Amino acid sequence: MSGAVDLSALKERAAAPPPQAPAPSGDGATPAAPDSTGLAPVIDVTEATFEAEVLVRSQQVPVVVDLWATWCEPCKQLSPLLEKLAREAGGTWVLAKVDVDANPRIAQAFGVQSVPTVVAIAGGQPLADFQGAQPEPQLRQWLAAVQQAVAGKLSGPPAGDGDPDEPEPEDPRFVAAEAALDEGDLSAAEAEFQKILDEEPANAEAQGAIRQVRFLARVQSVDPGAVAAADAAPNDIDAQLQAADVELYSQAPDAAFARLIGLVARSAGDDKTRVRTRLLELFELFDPAEPVVMTARRKLAAALY
């Protein structure tokens, strides 16, 4: 699940290796020079530079991490296209290229199973991702969704001249909710987010946050053995719903979605409606432009009709 990947290991290296020479870009091009914003649109990143070039930089602008390998044929198609789009973007987002063979700890932190894998990072956390080469129109759509998701939430590229703008004051309502989350008090956090929604029913940030809190509260009460129990009882609706929660919490959304889509296909009446409703709730925990959600929605439509 985006946002749930643990990148702390890359921030807490006990003995960081010396900086490596920049690896060549996937198409053999040299890294681009900084543009007028002062940010190079395309950079090569190693384990030694990951924190500064990706996690810290993503506090200003989204960083799109291209995890590639020299032997990967689809990478040779995708990487040049990403580089082109990054240069066109003019510093509104940065492309960080990572050779997974030379930097295995980065690949491990992202749980990379195949290359190319592309992950958008904002505010130091994964936001959205996809695997495999994609056509340019779909890439542009995905990048637009990423930028829309973080609009107004990051500090932006460094100003070329003059004093930096004063940071926006934090909304005290969200501060209270986040403090409750930090303390592990999910009930209090939900109550604080609900107060915001009572005042502003269309507040998208509060809507997303309360969905996440409710999911976390629900999954905490699920037996860790729920997946095995569900596999042993494929027609038990409650068991399947609990197993999907565990799979999603364990960062296996493909497995969770496939489980419930299969259950929709073999259910009827109120059971079908109940499973479909839960599946749609799980979709709402993600950015709608994420490929894993888009694919699952298509499969759900096929299962329904």
pLDDT value of residue 1: 39
Q: Are 42 and 25 in contact (CB under 8 A)?
A: yes
CA distance linking residue 143 with residue 149, whole number of Å: 10
pLDDT value of residue 52: 87
The verdict on domain 8-150 having CATH code 3.40.30.10 is yes
| Burial of 268 from C-beta contacts in 10 A (0-12 / 13-18 / 19+) | exposed
| pTM for this model (two decimals) | 0.47
pLDDT value of residue 39: 65
Q: Are 41 and 29 in contact (CB under 8 A)?
A: no
| Burial of 252 from C-beta contacts in 10 A (0-12 / 13-18 / 19+) | middle
Q: Which residues contact 233 (CB under 8 A, 6 or more apart)?
A: 239
Give the neighbor-by-neighbor strand order of the sheet with 42-44: 42-44, 94-99, 63-68, 117-122, 125-131
pLDDT value of residue 7: 56
Query: Which of 75, 78, 98, 282 is labelled catalytic?
Result: 75
Query: Which of 61, 65, 72, 121 is labelled catalytic?
Result: 72
In total, the chain counts a number of residues equal to 305
pLDDT of the chain, 305 residues: tens digit per residue: 344 444 555 544 433 333 333 333 444 443 444 444 456 889 999 988 898 899 889 889 999 999 999 999 999 999 999 999 999 988 899 999 999 999 888 888 888 888 999 999 988 888 888 888 888 888 998 888 888 888 777 766 655 444 445 555 678 888 888 888 888 888 998 999 899 888 888 888 888 888 889 998 898 888 888 999 999 999 899 999 999 999 998 888 999 999 999 999 998 899 989 999 999 999 888 877 778 888 888 888 888 76
- What does the domain layout of the chain look like in residue ranges? 8-150, 172-304
> Has 75 been annotated as catalytic?
yes
